[in-house]
Chains A and B, each alone.
Chain A
Amino acid sequence: MIKLTNISCGYENRPILKNVSFSLAKHTHLTIFGLNGSGKSTLAKAICGLIDYKGSITINGEELRTLSHRERARRISYIPAKIELFEQYNTLEEFVLLGRYPHKASFQNYTEQDHHIAREALKTMKIDSLAARSLHTLSSGQQQMALIAQALTQKSEIIIFDEPTANLDPANSLAFALQLVSLREKGISTILITHDLHLGHHMKAPVLFVDNGTVEYFADPTLFFSDDSLQHRYAVTFSHRALGVVYD
């Protein structure tokens, strides 16, 4: 279980999150919505230890700050919305294998089992045919799939996806949605940050709405997806017949 208590954080002197608190039971899913700039990604980065925060974040009762870098990576993985990589020449398989780093003993090589796990993740994401290609030759959508495969390889208890479908075509979005459900069935807690209302609706799981750095809504999805609620929160009118991937 992950529990956030009074989390406040930001960049330099610009506070973003103010006293955010919520908890998520084991093996469950949470979808986080929010307007642009509301603090969704900042929240994810605080949970992953990428930025300092005030307050407390615990996983199964352990305070995150007390964990080593590797221990933290074994518990949480984060797939950022976009990646800018300096190194161009990793092959896709080498890149995905890096997800095993937190499980590897210091100064040791990756084992045959690590390689096996990486290849399985490539197959799961249906990108195993690209395994020998260099990262820079892949499209942004394929790179997104690579990041997801890397996170699967990491085998952490919690996976946070930050706008994972932003670069995916409708077919891959659907494949991703199925993957998300299957992860939950395998006992992995998943947190999805997205603007894709269809995808969030499909997950049939609690919804958290971040507004201006605070938790404005954290409850059952039914109420959130009502016409009035959406219109109130996004200040636009929604059509149920709008074009989008039908996940159900």
Chain B
Amino acid sequence: MIKVIFFGLFFTLLLYSPFVGTAALNLSELLDPASLSHRIFVELRLPRVLLGFMAGASLGLAGLLFQNIFRNVLMTPYTLGVSSGAVLGAGIAIKLGLGTLFLGFGAVTLFGFVGAATTVLLLVWLSRYLKRAEHESLLLLGIALSFFYTAALMMIFFVSSFIESHMLMRFTMGSLSVIGYKEPLIITASTLFLLAGMWIYRYELQLLALSDEQARLKGVNTEKVTLILLLISSVAIAALVSLTGPIGFVGLVVPHIIRLIYKRDVSKLILPTFLFGGLFLVACDTVARSVEFGSEVPIGVVTSLIGGPFFIYLIIKGR
């Protein structure tokens, strides 16, 4: 019953979401293809809701994956510095003034993708030097990487012009602003790819979540499975962060709430996390667009305002 009310509430917000925004829609004109309201609704609002949903689903799934593979609830692509890697990549592209398009993508997106993907590969490579039981050290490695990236970004800020700094600042805040369906559909594809990967490997994940030893004793090739799942998630997260900028803490909050509601093992949480991740981010975005601050509040700011205190709560709770 709680699940029905919970999901019902968020689903209502999902339906309400495309009608919220700075520009008021004239509902009577919505069905008229020539009207401005129709164009705003179809070309701006609906793609944004789709992007928000898929972005939230990706972040939630990646959080669930990282937490179970590394058996630590604080592990997410965001806390491990993957998002910071994307920001640095984007920062370099902005500073270099690269506007060249490659296969229809801006340099900022491509560099962001490279930054995020490199960070995941770096973490996978560094984790080989850790003892099996020392996954906490991986978190420290992620934090160290984040510090390094932030310092490098500060250097870029320092030598940047006012306009470059402003562009960079907006990117670091995260945004779901989008025109048309190209970006939302790419993120939909990468999210479904991640969902399929986790679903296919759900029994391996179930064993990995118990302990590395349990998984290996039951015949799971833990190194191989971990690497495959991390690579799939790194593609999804790198694609996402390079398009939207960092959106913090969704990967931390969503799996935790789902675990609390369902009280089931990871193999049964994959679909609920996908669904709730999407609904949660759309809800946050709806809030961000409803608050009047002259312009909308950046989505990354909203999620971090919710997620930051939650992160502290998790640490204090000791899990």
Chain A residues within CB distance 8 Å of chain B: 48-50, 68-74, 77-78, 80, 83-87, 89-90, 94-95, 98-99, 101-102, 104, 107, 110, 134, 154
A107 / chain B contacts, CB cutoff of 8 Å:
200
Contact B209 A69 (CB under 8 A): no
Further contacts, 15 of them, CB under 8 A, given A98-B206, A101-B218: A71-B219, A73-B217, A78-B217, A83-B211, A83-B214, A84-B211, A85-B210, A86-B211, A87-B71, A87-B209, A87-B266, A94-B206, A102-B218, A102-B219, A154-B218
* Chain A residues with CB under 8 A of B209: 86-87
A87 touches B218 (CB 8 A): no
Distance in Å: Cβ of B44 to nearest Cβ of chain A: 40
Selecting from B142-150, B243-251, B257-265, B289-297, the interface stretch reads B257-265
CA of A178 to CA of B72 in the docked complex: distance in angstroms? Answer: 39
Partner of A85, one of B72, B211, B217, B266: B211
Q: Give B34 Cβ to nearest chain A Cβ, in Å.
A: 50
**Contact status B259-A89, CB under 8 Å:** yes
Query: Is B213 at the interface (CB under 8 A from chain A)?
Result: yes
B186 interfacial contact with A, CB 8 Å: no
Q: Which residues of A contact B71 (CB under 8 A)?
A: 86-87
- A154 smallest CB distance to B (angstroms): 7
- Inter-chain contact B219/A72, CB cutoff 8 Å: yes
Q: Is the CB of A101 within 8 A of B210?
A: no
Residues of A within 8 A of B265 (CB): 87, 89-90, 94
CA distance A71 to B209 in the complex (A): 22
Say what secondary structure dominates the interface of chain B: helix
Using CB atoms, name the residue of chain A closest to B263: A89
Set A87, A99, A101: member contacting B203, Cβ < 8 A: A101
Chain B residues with CB under 8 A of A154: 218
**A68 / chain B contacts, CB cutoff of 8 Å:** 219, 221
Residues of A within 8 Å of B206, CB to CB, are 87, 90, 94, 98
Do the beta carbons of B220 and A69 come within 8 Å of each other?
yes
At the interface, yes or no: B17 with Cβ under 8 Å from chain A? Answer: no
A150 CB to closest chain B CB (Å) equals 8
Residue of B68, B206, B214, B220 with highest tally of chain A CB at under 10 A: B214
Decide if A70 touches B219 in the complex (CB within 8 Å).
yes
B194-234 CB mask vs A (1 if < 8 Å, else 0) is: 00000010010011011101101111110000000000000
Contact indicator A50/B217 (Cβ below 8 Å)? yes
Out of A69, A77, A80, A102, name the residue touching B213 (CB < 8 Å): A80
With CB as the reference atom, state the residue of chain B lying closest to A86: B71
Contact with A along B50-76 (1 / 0, CB 8 A): 000000000000000000100110000
Q: Most chain-B Cβ atoms within 10 A of its Cβ — which of A50, A94, A99, A101?
A: A101
Interface pair A99/B218, CB less than 8 Å apart: yes
Give chain B nearest CB distance to A165 CB in angstroms. Answer: 20
Give the complex CA separation of A49 and B206 in angstroms. Answer: 20
A89 cross-chain contacts in B, Cβ below 8 A: 259, 262-265
Residues of A within 8 A of B221 (CB): 68-69
Task: Assess whether A90 is in contact with B219, with CB atoms less than 8 Å apart.
Answer: no
Smallest CB gap from B216: residue in A: A50
- Residues on B with C-beta less than 8 A from A90 are 206, 210, 265
CB contacts (< 8 Å) of B262 on chain A: these are: 89
A98 touches B207 (CB 8 A): yes
In whole angstroms, how far apart are the Cα atoms of A68 and B216 in the complex? Answer: 11
A87 contacts across to B, CB distance below 8 A: 68, 71, 206, 209-210, 265-266
| Distance of A154 Cα from B209 Cα, bound (Å) | 19
Find the A residue at minimum CB distance from B222.
A69
- A80 nearest CB neighbor, chain B only: B213
